[in-house]
Structure 1
Amino acid sequence: MDLFLEYLRAFLCGGLLCLIGQILIDRTTLTPAKILVIYVVSGVVLGGLGIYKYIVQWGGAGATVPLTGFGYLLAKGVAQAVEEGGLLGAFTGGVTAAAGGISAAIFFGYLVALIFKPRPKG
């Protein structure tokens, strides 16, 4: 039963974040790129303020997988690197913390490009 509740909370948290994004797309003149930036910056700000960790504790993967989770990961990495290495950590911590996800995105993007032969539209 605990596993079911964990999945349910992840679904609700991720679904709510997606719902907010869809409402922003449908009801505002914001472009998807601007919404992406808003989500990442929101994750950074909420992570820096210490609020997003409670959302992650409740929502699990529903909070860490969306773009706000990426922003949270950057903020968490910067905070840890600054604590360990001083001011230089403000420049290196975010990328270091997100290196695994960034590397996976590049690798799998390249793999898919090899398999499907991308071409420009038109």
Structure 2
Amino acid sequence: MEYIYCFCIGGLICVVGQVLLDTTKLTAPRILVIFVVTGAILQGMGIYEPLVKLAGNGATVPLPGFGYALAKGAMEGAQDGFLAALTGAVKSTAAGVAVAIAFGYLVAVIFNPKSIR
């Protein structure tokens, strides 16, 4: 059952993003920011954590999951002070950011980009 929840919740998040792209004049970067901020706000309100427990990676892998991880790290760090709140957010997302940078570099080295005219 957990695979079904993962697929449905993750798919629903993707459908929302696609609907926003198709029906509004929002660009992909703006939708990215909306999703990350939404994930952080929902975590701050205590709504996103139960969704993560239900859907697992279906809720943590899409963009709202990054906002969730930032907010969760900041909230855990805030128990130790203001500076720990800032570093907690960075620590909780550092692995994902490092992997994105590494794979981006690897793809840039392997493939030859072509400009679109």
TM-score normalized with structure 2 length:
0.93
Superimposed CA distance per residue, residues 22-47 of structure 1 (whole angstroms, 9 cap, x where no aligned partner) = 11111122221111111000000011
- The residue aligned with 1:106 is 101
Q: Secondary structure at the match of 1:107?
A: helix
Given candidates 7, 13, 19, the residue that maps to 1:23 is: 19
Matched, 1:95 2:90: yes
Contact 2:73 2:92 in 1 (8 A): yes
Kindly provide the amino acid, as one letter, of the partner of residue 29 in structure 1: K
Number of residues of Structure 1 aligned to a counterpart in Structure 2: 117
Q: Which piece of structure 1 moves more, 88-97 or 57-66?
A: 88-97
Rounded Cα–Cα distance in structure 2 between residues aligned with 1:63 and 1:16 = 10
Structure 1 residue ranges (4+ consecutive) displaced by more than 3 angstroms after TM superposition: 119-122
Structure 2 alignment gaps of length 5 or more = none
Contact 2:36 2:63 in 1 (8 A): yes
- The residue aligned with 1:75 is 71
1:119 positional shift: 4.4
1:77 positional shift: 0.6
Superimposed CA distance per residue, residues 67-95 of structure 1 (whole angstroms, 9 cap, x where no aligned partner) = 000000000010111113x0112322211
- The residue aligned with 1:51 is 47
Rounded Cα–Cα distance in structure 1 between residues aligned with 2:95 and 2:32 = 20
Contact 2:77 2:87 in 1 (8 A): yes
Q: Which piece of structure 1 moves more, 88-97 or 98-107?
A: 88-97
Matched, 1:121 2:116: yes
Matched, 1:13 2:9: yes
Structure 1 alignment gaps of length 5 or more = none
Greater helix share, structure number: 1
1:118 positional shift: 2.8
